[in-house]
Chain A
């Protein structure tokens, strides 16, 4: 595939990965991570690895952010319960 497409995909991955590191709120980080997963899947597909792209799309864009969001929810609820009990 053309080099320009690879370059665009690489730049998008670099930009979203930096955004994911720069974002400090874990819940928002999960959303940025999901976008990063999609761009990584695009990059893998452009580099002619659709199998890896599919794995990345399923795990990186859906499963990992979901697990992070659920963990964040659990921690926040616990903190709220504890503050409420006081």
Chain B
């Protein structure tokens, strides 16, 4: 195909896409209107199952299958990173040197680590009640742990972070999500159907049937996935050294 023909093809495709997009945007409802057909239905469905946070109900009840897909994407992505960033044959590990940290930085980090950890766990635990959930809380808790790297040094972080346990937790929580989904099949309803557990009292921690359980599984998965991911990046940045050729 000549260059000229390719440019024409690109121009035709681009013009078609622009026309379709413009037509679609013209049909959009006005900004900030009062009619929200999907929102109204989602809120009704989530209230029927005593889930206070409609987003959590969408993620872990009405569209729990989508969340399974997103969870698998994260799992596969972290697995790929672990494979790519592993210690190669021509590399060796050097023990990181103890680092000097300015005293205010150290004090601030040691003060913030517990607060940030509790904050992350709170966001996971209250995912079915208030904004947040397994994903957000998991990322917050996992990054909070890495404040230790700022406040102390890499060896201190390695001491509080048993990597093997986090890798196992990552895989186990993906399995937990699948098993919870299969429980519905075994009970004779459908995969990931939220019909087995009692829905509980509205706006309490145990409300929403399967929602808190799936939320906790995602929280564990995301927290350990982020820890494993950052651990592999940190290993490469701090410990693993290429051996000189020859």
Contact = CB atoms under 8 A, between A and B. Distances in A.
Given A50-B131, A51-B55, A81-B241, A58 B236 contact: no
Interface residues of A, number: 20
Interface string A72-86: 011001100100010
The secondary structure that dominates the B interface is helix
B136 A51 contact: yes
B143 A77 contact: no
Interface residues of B, number: 22
Nearest to B143: A62
A71 B236 CA distance: 8
Contacts of B52: none
Interface string A17-56: 0000000000000000000000000000000001101110
The secondary structure that dominates the A interface is helix
A70 interface: yes
Interface of A: 50-51, 53-55, 57-59, 62-63, 66-67, 70-71, 73-74, 77-78, 81, 85
22 contacts: A50-B131, A51-B131, A53-B131, A54-B131, A54-B132, A55-B136, A55-B139, A57-B136, A58-B136, A58-B143, A59-B139, A63-B143, A63-B230, A66-B146, A66-B230, A67-B230, A70-B237, A71-B233, A74-B237, A77-B237, A81-B241, A85-B244
Among all A-B residue pairs, the 10 with the closest Cβ atoms: A50-B131, A58-B139, A54-B136, A70-B233, A70-B237, A51-B55, A74-B237, A73-B237, A62-B143, A51-B131
